[in-house]
Amino acid sequence: MATTSRSGRHGSDDEESTPAMRRLRRLSLHLLQPAPEGGGSLGPAACAGKRRAGGLDADAAALTAYLRGRHRKMQARVYEFYVARPELQTPVELPMAAHRDLCFRQMAALVREAGVRPLSLMAADPAEYFAVMEAVGGVDISLAIKVGVQYSLWGGSVINLGTKKHKEKYFDKIDNLEYPGCFAMTELHHGSNVQALQTTATFDPVTDEFIIDTPNDGAIKWWIGNAALHGKFATVFARLILPLQGKGGEPADMGIHAFIVPIRDLETHAVLPGIEINDCGHKIGLNGVDNGALRFRSVRIPRDNLLNRFGDVARDGKYTSSLPTINRRFAATLGELVGGRVGLAYSSVGVLKVAVTIAVRYALLRQQFGPPKEPEISVLDYQSHQHKLMPMLASAYAFHFARAYLVDMYSEMKKTNDEDVTADVHVLSSGLKSYITSYTAKSISICRESCGGHGYAAVNRFGGLRNDHDIFQTFEGDNTVLLQQVAGDLLKQYQQKFKGGTLSVTWNYLRDSMGTYLSQPNPVTARWEGEDHLRDPKFQLDAFRYRTSRLLHSVAARLQKHMKTLGGFGAWNRCLNHLLTLAESHIESVILARFIEAVKSCPDEKTREVLKLVCDLYALERIWKDIGTYRNVDYVAPNKAKAIHKLVDYLSYQVRLVARELVDAFDVPDQIIRAPIGMQSEAYAQYTQGVGFYRQPT
C-alpha cells in the first residue's frame, strides 16, 4: 500500500508541456507564501528548522520558563520516577488483562514508592493535583483515568459530599490506596440525566440502615471504573426513600443522594453478598481501566454511610437539610463534583500538546518534492500543511492559558466556598471541558493524517491517543449537554441584566452587549483592513464578543417566540443548535480574553512578541472560520474579510518559522512523547531501530 505524499511530482527538463510539468508549475505557485496586505510575495521556505531573515527570533527556553506552572518540579519528579522504572512503562501492544494489572501497579507505585499523595494534594492545592494528573496521563492515559477515579471521584465524593466523620474514617486509607474505590453514578438507562437515576436507598428505622436496591435492569450501574477488579468500595448515587413520610403515609422520595457501599471484602477481596459485579469488557480505548457493572439486591449499609453534607437522616428517620428543595440539594451535590471536569479539560490540553508536538516535529523532518533541480523541502513549508497544523498549535497555547485560569478559579472556589464563584466555575468548567475535548479529539485525527503512512503506525501514538482520549467527550458530562448548561446560564444572565441584576465575573462583558455590541456595526470600521487594526487585540476581542452577544440576543427572541406554541422544552429543542453555537462562541471569547491577558503579562519582550503572533493567529483564524456570521450582519465588509483571510495565511507562515521552538517550549520529555517520528533528534534512526534495523557503521 503506497503511503508516499502526493504534494507534487518531478518531471525532466524537456517535459515542460506535459501534465506533470504543468502540475509542478501549479505546485510552485502553491508554495509561494502569502504576505500580509500590501506586502510582496515570499519565496519557498528553506529546509526544516531554518528561519528566514525578518522572522521572529523565538527562544524555546524563555517560552518554556513562561509556560511552566509553579508545579513543574512535581511533574518532573513523576516523569523521572516512571522513566527510571522500565517495568512500569506501558508497551505499545498489551492484552487487556495485562494492561489492567500494569495500570494498578503504576498507580500503587506512584503512591507507595514515589510518595505522591493525590488526595492530600487535591485538598491542599488543586493546581498541584491537576499537574500530577497531566504527568501520569503522559505515562499512560489509562493511568490518569484510574487515578482520577480513585481520587477525583471516589475520594472527591467522600471529602466533598461527606462530613467530618467520613473524612476521619476514609481520607487516609483512600489516599494511601488501602481503600480503592469506585464512583457509581451512571446506570444502563441513564447517564446525563442524573436526576432520573433509579437505584434506591430505603431507610429501615428498625435496624438503622439503608437498603440499596437495583429495581430493574435499567438501573444497573454501568461503566463504573475500578469496579470490575480492584474496587473495594463504591460511592453509590441513589434515590433516598423514607417510608411512611410521604402524602397519605406513602414513601417519600427525597431525591438523589450519595452513599458509601462496600462491594468487596477488605481481606479476601471476595464480592460481598447481595452484590453482583460483571465486567464491561474490552473498550475502544482506556483498557487499563477495569470498568464494571453493579447490581444490588437488598444490600444493607449503616445510616452513617450516607454522605450527609447536604441532607441527613436522624435515628428516628427524620430528614433535615440546609437546602429546602430537591433541586437545590441536587445542584449543590453536582456542584461539588466539578473537579472531574476541570481535570479532563486540563488533561485534554496535555494530550493536544503531545499530538501537535509529534505532528509538527515530523512535518519539519519530512521532506517531499521541491522546485526542479533543487533540494526537497520540508512538508511544513507547504501552505496546506501550515493551514492544518499552525492554527492547532496556536489553539494549544490558547488552551494552556485558559486551563490555568480555570484551575485558579477552581482553587479560589475550594478556598472560599463563595456561591458566585462556585456558579461561575460550574459553567466555565462545563464549557471549557466540552470545547477543549471536542477540539482535541478532532485534532488528533488531523495530526495522524498530516503524518501520512507513518502516522498510522501504533508506535507513533496517534491511534492510542485518539482511542484513549475519545471518551473525554462523554464522561464527566456529555459535551452537548454541558454546552447547554453554558447556554442556559448565559440566558439567565441576560434575563438578570433586564431586571437590574449583577453579572458574574466571567460574564462581565455582557453588561455592554445589549448596548454597544448590539448597535448597528460602524460602516467605516467594517471596511478597515490594515494589519495593525486586524492585529489589535481590541478589534479581535470585540469581534468575538459581538458575535456572542448577537447570538444571545437572537436566541432569546426565538425562544420567547416559540414558547408560546411549543412550551419551554419544545422551544429549547427547536433552538438547540443555535444555543450550542452560542455556548461555543462564549467559551471562545473567554479563551481569547485569557490569551490576550497572558500576552500582556509576559515580562520578556521577545517571548511576548512570539506569543502575540500566536495569539493573533488564534483570534483571526477563528474569525475567518465564522466569517459568514460577520458578513451577514455587515460587521466585516468584503474587502476586510479578504484581508483577514490573507493575514491568517501569512500568520500561519510566520508561526511555521518558529514552530520548532513553540513545540519544544511545551517541555514534554521524549520519554513521554515516545513516538519515534516525534523525537527531538535522530527520529528516523530511532524509528528504523525500533522495527529491528541496526544502525549502519559510519
Q: 275-304: per-residue pLDDT in tens? A: 999 999 999 999 999 999 999 999 999 999
Identify the pLDDT of residue 1: 42
Do 132 and 280 share a domain, yes or no?
no
Do 275 and 406 share a domain, yes or no?
no
Give me the chain's average pLDDT, please. 88
Catalytic residues: 476
> Which residue has better confidence, 44 or 615?
615
**DSSP structure class, residue 243:** T
Do 431 and 478 share a domain, yes or no?
yes
Identify the pLDDT of residue 517: 55
Which candidate, 170, 234, 238, 207, places its Cα nearest to that of 303?
Answer: 207
- What is the average per-residue pLDDT within 237-245? 93
Report the C-alpha gap between 24 and 224 in whole angstroms.
56
Do 352 and 316 share a domain, yes or no?
no
| Residue 279, helix vs strand vs coil | strand
Which pLDDT band holds residue 512 (cuts at 50, 70, 90)? low
Quick: pLDDT tens for 359-370. Answer: 999 999 998 998
Quick: pLDDT tens for 21-43. Answer: 444 444 444 444 454 444 433 33
Q: For the domain that residue 297 is a member of, what is the CATH number?
A: 2.40.110.10
Do 369 and 494 share a domain, yes or no?
yes
- Determine whether the annotation assigns residue 225 to a binding site: yes
**Structural domain includes residue 346:** yes
Do 122 and 227 share a domain, yes or no?
no
Do 311 and 353 share a domain, yes or no?
no
- Determine whether the annotation assigns residue 186 to a binding site: yes
Do 208 and 253 share a domain, yes or no?
yes
Instruction: Specify the pTM.
Output: 0.89
**Structural domain includes residue 306:** yes
Cell numbers for 591, please give them: 479563551
- What is the average per-residue pLDDT within 603-615? 95
Q: What percent of the chain has pLDDT over 90?
A: 73
Domain boundary among 324, 356, 376: 324
Lowest mean pLDDT: which of 122-126, 372-376, 527-531? 527-531
Q: Per residue in 19-30, is it b (16+ CB within 10 Å) or e — as a string?
A: eebeebeebeee
**Structural domain includes residue 18:** no
Do 162 and 201 share a domain, yes or no?
no
Q: SS3 string of 281-346? A: CCCCCCCCCCCEEEEECCEEEEHHHECCCCCEECCCCCEECCCCCHHHHHHHHHHCCCHHHHHHHH
pLDDT at 522 over 90: no
**Structural domain includes residue 122:** yes
Cell numbers for 153, please give them: 471521584
Identify the pLDDT of residue 688: 85
What's the distance, Cα to Cα, between the start and end of the chain in Å?
32
Which pLDDT band holds residue 20 (cuts at 50, 70, 90)? very low
Identify the pLDDT of residue 506: 52
How many residues can be counted in the chain? 698
Do 390 and 538 share a domain, yes or no?
yes
- What is the average per-residue pLDDT within 265-279? 98
Strongest mean pLDDT among 57-66, 583-592, 669-678? 583-592
Report the C-alpha gap between 298 and 529 in whole angstroms.
71
**Structural domain includes residue 126:** yes
Report the C-alpha gap between 194 and 454 in whole angstroms.
43
Number of separate domains in the chain: 3
CA distances from 283 to 142, 292, 523, 658 (A): 12, 12, 55, 39
Which pLDDT band holds residue 308 (cuts at 50, 70, 90)? very high
pLDDT at 514 over 70: no
Do 216 and 137 share a domain, yes or no?
no
Strongest mean pLDDT among 48-52, 630-634, 653-657? 653-657
**Structural domain includes residue 688:** no
pLDDT at 520 over 80: no
Question: Could you tell me whether strands 181-184 and 275-279 are parallel, antiparallel, or unpaired per DSSP bridges?
Answer: unpaired
Do 412 and 351 share a domain, yes or no?
yes
Identify the pLDDT of residue 18: 53
**Domain span holding position 268:** 181-324
Domain boundary among 166, 201, 221: 166
Rounded to 5 degrees, φ, ψ at 204 are: -110, 105
Q: For the domain that residue 446 is a member of, what is the CATH number?
A: 1.20.140.10
Identify the pLDDT of residue 160: 93
**Structural domain includes residue 281:** yes
**Structural domain includes residue 611:** yes
Report the C-alpha gap between 235 and 215 in whole angstroms.
18
Q: Are 399 and 591 in contact (CB under 8 A)?
A: yes
Strongest mean pLDDT among 9-18, 30-39, 461-470? 461-470
Cell numbers for 608, please give them: 511576548
Which pLDDT band holds residue 516 (cuts at 50, 70, 90)? low
